[in-house]
Chain A
Amino acid sequence: MTIPTFILKNALRNKRRAILSISSVAASLFLLVTLQVALRELTLPPESAGAELRVAVRNRISLTNPLPVRQRSLIEKIPGVAAITPFTWFGGKYKNEGGMTFAQFAIDPKALGTVFAEAKMDMTGYQTFVAKKDSCVIGKITADKYDLKVGDRFSLDSTVYPGSLTFEVAGIYSGTPDDRNMLFRQDYLDDSIGMPGYVGMWWLKVTSPEAMPGVIATVEKSFANSSAEVKAESERAFQLGFISMLGNIRMLVASISTVVVFTLVLVAASTMSMSIRERFRELAVLKALGFRRRELFAFILAESFGLSAAGAVLGIGTAYVLYTYGNISQMTHGILISFEVTPRIIGFAALVAALLGIVSAIAPSLAVTRMSVVQGLKTLD
């Protein structure tokens, strides 16, 4: 019998215990990965193509305060601005659903070819959208969810404006990080129930990333001390501003992760000491046979490391397969979108597993090191 087979035999001699230990490590690591992915999703939304050229312009008071439409012609004249579109929150409820399930924004229809060019859609859809005032485009996720097709008509009750609007689907887009939104025409909103003369915010496209700081400064300066002061920022900064509003959620998830890791260490360490305690007599025999302490320590470490590695492979693997190949947005009804398990998160979970293997070997090893051979041989249980 070689030393590796000896270790393997020892680890698996109580198969039920080995399986239970591996499963509890796996369950905890699965949870840890899930929390880390959720935290990343909440705090670092995916960056979309074209983000480095986009600038968000909102009312300085807050995002919910509107901007006067007269700002448009002034912004368009700023050097470095390639395109501009209004972006107005409609807050519509679909049919009889209790809450909002996807966001709707009123835009300039041409913006689909300029500011939001990364949204992929066929040409006829784009042409219809530019031609027909009551048309709209919807993201693929929402289209699939409600089984909406090009040419379908539906209406939305606004929670922001009095009344509801009926739309015709002109096209279905995909290719953005969040293919859920519905986009329709600002002029349609203005004609029907909106506040003509006002828009929610502006999105700009700049000519190059280098032009962005200058554009941001000029836009803010142009409206300083006017009745509608603005705040202009890059798309990234705008997203991070949203996350800042979530407040203590980040800390909450982080502290839960800590508790999960702690529980994990505790339970694994106790199982490990349990199985070593049962083998005190054998370890004493090994000692009597002339094995050194450091060799015994290596046996225990290898066994505990092996168990936690198996748990890690199972737990992290399940999470990876589930979140990579499963349809997360369908499972969570569109609350979470990408749910990407990054190498960094896998690495973090694997590190936790490795530390777990080492930490849970410490207590039993110390006990074995301290015991005398005679005392160990006398142990009954």
Chain B
Amino acid sequence: MALPITYNLRNVIIRWRSTLATIIGIALVVAVFVLVQALAVGLEKSASNTGDPRNVMIVRKGSTAESSSMVSLEQFQTLHYWPEIARDAAGKPIVSADVLTLISQPRIDGKGEANVSVRGLTAMGMELRPQVTLVSGRWFAPGKREVAVSSRLARRFASFHIGDQFRTAGNTFTVVGEFDGGNTAFDSEVWMDADEARAIFDRQSYSSVLVRAVSPAAALAISAKIDTDKRLPLRADSEVKYYSEQTSTALPIKILGNFLATAMSIGAVFAAMNTMYASVGARTREIGTLRVLGFRRRTILAGFILEGALLAAIGGVLGCLLSLPLHGYSTGTMSFNTFSETVFQFRITPWLACKGILFAITVGILGSLLPAIRAARLPVIASLKSV
């Protein structure tokens, strides 16, 4: 058993010219597969990263996006002083009622506009989101038409850098700071003062309320209390859970990835078959010799399949390496959940790389199966005679 295996393995290296094209072909297929899936992973990661496990997010029942959610002032007053909500050192409840609205802004390349989420929040709201840190400039001062912008978002829009001014809703805003959302959904937001936002965007009510629960049990109690209170047509969920459900945008990308992988792998299987058939054809005599030496058909079969799998595995590893430089690269698209620009990164996880390599090996095995059967079935005498 050992000899044919080393024979097959060494063949991959010795006939490198004929196998190189196949390996690169498989590598490119794997690279495309991994990169498209990395987009889907990145989108899901930015959603599932978001939130603090101690926080409870309260939105209108039935709303799927914060921008279309509504929490009235009375509803907010009702729950503001609930004992399940934690208090700060001064004894004030740790609660933030936010306003989320979308504004249309020109892209940095001048090609059209896109919706951007603007969150109006209070100082308490910023404390509730420790994932967000200021990287340059300063935070906005209430009442001065100032905003802070996520630095990843700033790179994608024309007037979102510190010092820039932009107009919306009849007002001119100045960007005074850039923050880092720590790869969360907040990377896709512009922040300003809550009351100012309510006045400028003419909102009677808030979009959502974020509270810090005193304990995990209290968090559940808040959810239950809101569920049973008829006066509150609201829904409360842990903040982490709320955001991790916001991933439907990733679905079309996943479908695209799977479609591409299927179509490209069919082409790759044909190509691998071609290489392996040629390889079997060129080695007819060697195979005959192995058979004369006493190696069995199934050993030869296994050897050739292994050769195909190895060839493809090299391609798979190469493909992962090819895709690696894009890891962490920031890109953006419109989210179907929020109807606004969502910034996220290519995320190549170890599991995704494994999937890519497994995918390559499958292509290799499928491509070498028929040629290997042919090699195993070669008649001994005839193959020894062949030139």
Interface residues of A (CB under 8 A from B): 16-17, 20-21, 23-24, 27-28, 30-31, 34, 60-65, 91, 98-99, 157-160, 162-163, 225, 227, 229, 231, 240-241, 243-249, 252, 256, 259-260, 262-264, 266-267, 269-271, 274, 278, 335, 380-381
Contacts and interface: CB of A to CB of B under 8 A. Distances in A.
Interface in B38-79: 39, 60-65, 67-68, 70
14 contacts: A23-B267, A24-B270, A60-B169, A61-B101, A61-B102, A245-B114, A246-B333, A248-B332, A260-B32, A262-B28, A266-B25, A267-B21, A267-B271, A271-B274
Contacts of B102: 61-65
Contacts of B387: 380
A246 B334 contact: yes
A20 B270 contact: yes
B21 A270 contact: yes
Given A227-B202, A335-B252, A244 B28 contact: no
A17 B271 CA distance: 10
B32 A256 contact: yes
B263 A31 contact: yes
Interface stretch (B87-95, B105-113, B213-221, B376-384): B105-113
Nearest to B112: A244
A266 B268 CA distance: 11
Contacts of A225: 170
Given A65-B101, A227-B202, A270-B21, A244 B273 contact: no
B36 interface: yes
Contact of B114 (A23, A227, A244): A244
Contacts of B107: 244
B111 A263 contact: no
Contacts of A381: 282
Given A91-B68, A256-B36, A256-B260, A63 B115 contact: yes
B292 interface: no
A20 B267 CA distance: 9
Given A241-B112, A380-B387, A247 B332 contact: yes
B168 A241 contact: no
A377 to B, nearest CB: 14
A278 B168 CA distance: 70
B63 A159 contact: yes
A247 B341 contact: yes
Nearest to B18: A274
Contacts of B101: 61-62, 64-65
B114 A247 contact: yes
A263 B274 contact: no
A17 B274 contact: yes
A259 B112 CA distance: 27
Nearest to A29: B267
A263 B264 contact: yes
Contacts, number: 161
Contact of B169 (A20, A61, A241, A335): A61
Contact of A17 (B115, B266, B277): B277
A20 B273 contact: yes
B165 to A, nearest CB: 16
Contacts of B122: none
Given A99-B248, A157-B62, A245-B115, A260 B264 contact: yes
B115 A264 contact: no
Contacts of A27: 263-264, 266-267, 270
Contacts of A160: 63, 68
A159 B65 contact: yes
Contacts of A259: 28, 31-32
A189 to B, nearest CB: 14
B260 A31 contact: yes
B13 interface: no
A256 B326 CA distance: 14
Interface in B320-360: 331-334, 336, 339, 341
A162 B233 contact: yes
Interface string B238-281: 00000000001000100000011001101110110111011000
Contacts of A60: 104, 168-169
Nearest to A380: B387
B295 interface: no
A144 B111 CA distance: 38
Contacts of A62: 101-104, 115
A234 to B, nearest CB: 14
Contact of B264 (A31, A63, A245, A278): A31
A301 B46 CA distance: 51
Contacts of A245: 112-115, 334, 341
From A23, A63, A243, residue with most partner B Cβ within 10 Å: A23
A263 B318 CA distance: 14
B170 to A, nearest CB: 6
When A and B form their complex, which 10 residue pairs have the shortest distance between CB atoms, in order from nearest?
Answer: A244-B112, A270-B21, A24-B270, A27-B267, A245-B334, A247-B333, A62-B104, A267-B271, A31-B263, A62-B102
A82 B263 CA distance: 50
A61 B248 CA distance: 25
Given A27-B266, A159-B62, A274-B18, 20 more contacts: A17-B278, A27-B264, A28-B264, A34-B259, A63-B115, A159-B63, A162-B60, A162-B61, A241-B112, A245-B115, A246-B333, A252-B331, A259-B28, A260-B32, A262-B28, A263-B28, A270-B271, A270-B275, A271-B271, A335-B252
A248 B67 contact: no
Nearest to B339: A64
B25 A61 contact: no
A163 B233 CA distance: 10
A31 B63 CA distance: 38
Contacts of A99: 248, 336
